[in-house]
Copies of this chain bind each other. A is one copy, B any other.
Amino acid sequence: MEKIKKAKIKIEKDLQDLEKSLNKSLKSKINLATEISSYTISSGGKRIRPLLSIFIARCLNYSGKELIKLCTAIELLHTATLIHDDVVDESDTRRGKPSVNKKWDIMHSVLVGDFVYSKAFQNMSSLKNPEIIKVLANSTNMISEGEVMQLSLKASFLSEKDYFQIISNKTAELFKASAVSAALLSNASAEELKFVKHLAFSLGIIFQINDDILDYFGDSQRTGKQIGQDLSEGKITLPLIKTYNLSSTKEKKIIKNSLGNSTKKNITLIKNLIQSSGALKEVLNIRNKYYKTCIRNTKKLPSSNFRKLLENTINELVQIDF
């Protein structure tokens, strides 16, 4: 019991170091760049990607000084994509606060997003590890391909296959890169790299599916998002895809009409459909499949208190039930 407390304190210390490093990274002689980027970075993100890097590195006994730099690069990369994402989704809020495009404008979003990207790349390059830089550069490209793919399919009702392709690119790939780069930093073996990859990719999928369920059934106080925001923005996610496939022609029409055009009444209607159609159950089953892969691979990490904490974090994610 005492030992797991010690491990927890170590992880918390890493996360504190990350916050300091993030703030330091965004310092610039151009005050506006620091102001807007700090506004975004300090708006209460969960730091789940760098946390994953920290867990993997600690599980693999990493003891060097590069971990926080890596975590900083990853969180900045993620933040840059969020800033640009909000332009594309025309989102007015992010984590309960006005988005950059709402508080400033699109021009500021584009340029400050680029500024944050450049800071991510500076942190990456300071690692001086070509293999890790390659993993992160490839991941950046996968995210961006996912974004363009999503945009190109905006006019159509997304298929389940396309949904998984998009969330793989936009979310799971960066989870994977966060874990794999931390494993590379820790001189992991080929075997270790393999299961770390699987655990992280499936964790990314779980995380995204959860996010998509929470959009309908979450506590908006906790998520900082309005219930039904995806529906209002015309964004089609797994709960809606599953519901659509299980619906009658009449219900299908209701779903399509609610997209980008959702009143409170509409949202309640769709939420009821998601549950009554059996779609929610199917979504939870899929999440459970990824959970099993995730936990099976996590258990291949050397047994330690860090691994125990990682397992707890994963379990917390899937304990959100509806």
Binding site for B on A (CB under 8 A): 28-33, 81, 84, 87-88, 106-108, 110-115, 117-119, 121-122, 124-126, 128-130, 133-134, 136-138, 140-141, 143-145, 147-149, 151-152
Q: Which chain B positions have C-beta within 8 A of A133?
A: 124-125, 130, 133
Q: Is the CB of B137 within 8 A of A125?
A: yes
A181 to chain B, nearest CB (A): 12
Closest B residue by C-beta to A142 = B118
Q: Is the CB of A88 within 8 A of B110?
A: yes
Query: How far apart sit A113 and B83, CA to CA, in the bound complex (Å)?
Result: 14
From the candidates B87, B107, B114, B121, name the one contacting A107 in the complex (CB within 8 A): B87
A2 to chain B, nearest CB (A): 41
Q: Is the CB of A144 within 8 A of B118?
A: yes
Q: Is the CB of B152 within 8 A of A32?
A: yes
Q: Which chain B positions have C-beta within 8 A of A122?
A: 134, 137-138, 140-141
Q: Which chain B positions have C-beta within 8 A of A108?
A: 151
Closest B residue by C-beta to A104 = B151
Q: Which chain B positions have C-beta within 8 A of A106?
A: 87, 106
A84-B114, A117-B140 given; 9 more Cβ-contact pairs under 8 Å: A30-B152, A33-B145, A87-B107, A106-B106, A110-B113, A117-B117, A121-B140, A124-B133, A125-B133
Query: How far apart sit A112 and B126, CA to CA, in the bound complex (Å)?
Result: 26
| 29 pairs from A and B in contact (CB 8 Å cutoff) | A28-B148, A30-B145, A31-B152, A81-B114, A84-B111, A84-B114, A87-B107, A88-B111, A110-B110, A111-B144, A111-B147, A111-B148, A111-B151, A112-B148, A114-B144, A115-B145, A115-B147, A117-B144, A118-B137, A118-B143, A121-B121, A121-B141, A122-B138, A124-B137, A125-B130, A125-B133, A125-B137, A128-B130, A133-B133
Q: Which chain B positions have C-beta within 8 A of A31?
A: 152
Q: Is the CB of B29 within 8 A of A145?
A: yes
Q: Which chain B positions have C-beta within 8 A of A138?
A: 122, 125
Q: Is the CB of A33 within 8 A of B121?
A: no
